[in-house]
Structure 1
């Protein structure tokens, strides 16, 4: 039976429906999801099949993208520590970056903020953010299983310590493995165990992977894997093993996803995958039909353009793409909004939450992003720029169309810019000016 327009019953139904929707929204906010953030090491966008890479096998990452959302324009910093500081604090390096392999202990991370919101927290993988025994716990992680915390990259015999028979620190205690173990297996097991232990709690698992950083070495799936090896003595190793390392890394991503699925947590867990910076320099890959040179340490796109995919069953629409410009400063405000975690106003967060975009809404996308990059924190090697999707302006005044000039070989002559280019130049100059006095004196 149709209900006539204006009928009291019709109005009651509308009111009750609205109240029910409001109630369900509140309930959803009262029970925020688990969060798993996976970040591969030295892994640019060109390495992923879902983005157009054809040199490697990445079925598990591709599946995440197919089941969720793929961001086409995500940018990191060009090197490990600067990216880690930015993603964990939500601030551009100009504000709080001190030196390589360190995170200033005055800073708050997403670990601190989510722990304060009631989450169980863990980190496993590569640290490189301070040698103190309690560093991970100081920055908000209940549990930790890390490589390169207080120990150096190599042992006394100059063997790299991250892969075969590794030296790791588990909750601050050093442990040497000598029975043919593979470091990435140990830390991924740690994440899986943490997830299972906290399946009835709200948890945040941060997994900054050890793979695919050099030395490029055989994995346990390689024909010439040597379980007795105590680690490479050659820093770069042999680039021929990079495809095998990519495949193994992708398998570990699948391992984490399978654990979540087996525990029935898919609808209450958002899984995010990204890379910390561009692929290392010896690696040349095929990307969208062209050779693509690894650009780690460089501020060109091949040094900063990284994959970024997210899956949350029942919340994020499958097989969607987003073309908004995002960077690592945006991750903290996004996951804090997902977790209903307060971000104190005293923290000068530079990022903008892209939670609406995850749900297919417009949100508040950035028109441009900013980068202050100095791997060692000094001004001598500083590279500072602002950019949008197509253009990049350095503080030096050099202006590039990065869409057409990937490796920034030909700066645009300022005297002959088009009207549209002049407008972009002015906008990017404004972005640079915002951070002119943001550097904290150390």
Structure 2
């Protein structure tokens, strides 16, 4: 009887291990305002990112990943897998009728968590409404700022104002917001190591204010934060360097936690950034200077890092690939990896990168990426872009004033006049214009009729 009991225990353990192998954990980390050029693995000569470089060396580094030019549009796109033209309403808000990858993975048996920056709706239940069971966030139910002696103070970094599962918590003992969020993620990983989990970590770093980190020489744990938007320490270049280093450091802490909890092997870790680097940061990159252009529909505003690391799931690790990737691709990727269903009536805006992970990219169909961008949500104030590896077409949201840019590499584009376009380039422009016109017809088709009417009325009134 004893022998049968031992056999049963080992068989059960084997079953659990087998189940774990079939259900990879997901860890999606998105830095704030960290462009492609900020990682040393991508060619940065101004900053060092050894932990991210190691992930790239042991996984896959992508050289053609594109986000929207600012945060909320990118967050809406990555979470829903839809082009902004379909469902973007306004800055700082995710329409509560939207379906996210957290919804899909939760329905597939995943326990879910989000930490970092929210800025998508101030209702106390917002993260849970969008599928996240646990949350540790800045700018959730409040602005994340305080007024002291008549001054408005940014409270995302030193002594932060956060919300833990919707409940406000003020830190005043020298805590550092990014570290609090990272510790929350690490605790969640360890507490849920026996079951498949999703962690979405939209970082607070490296967004301005450009402020000291706990590793900076001028760190002051008694400060309450910056009194200006870009930072009142007046040394943005040095502090951005320190902030990149700290972002890399906490990624290393999370990887160490995965290893300690025994789940590193079957965890797909994806690292990216929500848009280009902000002004006034200038980065030495591959022998040239890259000026931060967050908010612009340029390479410096939309080209972002992308690293995928998954010891148990990536074939031929150590590759550097130039496959086109945009944020709508994350929804189908996460669903395919986990066995979750895509949302009903998903229009196919994204293309899974799983074939790339499996070293079979030739079966993946992705010839261009598309960005619809209007910070306010009003199309008359917006721009649209279609691009492939060599060309981009930028136009107003209605398709007018379209211009083609030819790229010789990252951050090396030349705007072309129509009069000098070669015949193949004329064909590319025409194809891109056809794509813009087709997708323009989908504006707000993925939101409720009530919101659609409200938005269209607001747009007419603005005119």
Query: Structure 1 pair 173/153, CA: closer, same or farther in 2 (3 Å)?
Result: closer
> Which position in structure 2 is the counterpart of 1:249?
247
* CA contact 1:368–1:431 (8 Å) conserved in 2: no
* CA contact 1:354–1:365 (8 Å) conserved in 2: no
Residues 142-179 of structure 1: CA deviation (Å, up to 9, x unaligned)? 00000001111421221111011100000000000111
Indicate the RMSD between aligned Cα atoms, in angstroms: 1.7
SS at 1:356 equivalent: helix
Q: CA deviation at 1:415?
A: 2.9
Equivalent position to 2:81, from 79, 87, 90: 90
> Which position in structure 1 is the counterpart of 2:343?
344
Q: CA deviation at 1:405?
A: 9.3
Alignment of structure 1 residues 99-110 onto 2, 5 Å: 99-110=90-101
**TM-score normalized by the length of structure 2:** 0.87
Q: CA deviation at 1:216?
A: 0.6
> Which position in structure 2 is the counterpart of 1:166?
160
For this pair of structures, how many residues does the alignment match? Answer: 416
Alignment of structure 1 residues 36-435 onto 2, 5 Å: 36-157=27-148, 158-237=152-231, 238=234, 239=236, 240-316=238-314, 317-362=316-361, 363-394=363-394, 395=399, 396-403=401-408, 406=411, 411-435=415-439
* CA contact 2:145–2:161 (8 Å) conserved in 1: no
Residues 382-435 of structure 1: CA deviation (Å, up to 9, x unaligned)? 011111111111232211113379476x53122331122122112212321330
Q: CA deviation at 1:68?
A: 0.2
> Which position in structure 2 is the counterpart of 1:20?
none
Measured in 2, the distance between the counterparts of 1:270 and 1:405 equals 27
Measured in 1, the distance between the counterparts of 2:310 and 2:409 equals 35
**TM-score normalized by the length of structure 1:** 0.91
**Mind listing any 5+ residue stretches in structure 1 that lack a counterpart?**
1-23
Measured in 2, the distance between the counterparts of 1:388 and 1:259 equals 38
* CA contact 2:331–2:342 (8 Å) conserved in 1: no
**Mind listing any 5+ residue stretches in structure 2 that lack a counterpart?**
1-14, 445-451, 456-463
Q: CA deviation at 1:345?
A: 2.8
Query: Structure 1 pair 399/29, CA: closer, same or farther in 2 (3 Å)?
Result: farther
Measured in 2, the distance between the counterparts of 1:195 and 1:230 equals 30
SS at 1:411 equivalent: strand
SS at 1:365 equivalent: coil
SS at 2:146 equivalent: coil
Q: CA deviation at 1:349?
A: 4.0
Measured in 1, the distance between the counterparts of 2:346 and 2:129 equals 17
Residues 34-63 of structure 1: CA deviation (Å, up to 9, x unaligned)? 000011100001011111111001000100
Residues 317-362 of structure 1: CA deviation (Å, up to 9, x unaligned)? 3211111111001011101110100013323341011101111112
Measured in 2, the distance between the counterparts of 1:307 and 1:386 equals 19
* CA contact 1:91–1:329 (8 Å) conserved in 2: yes
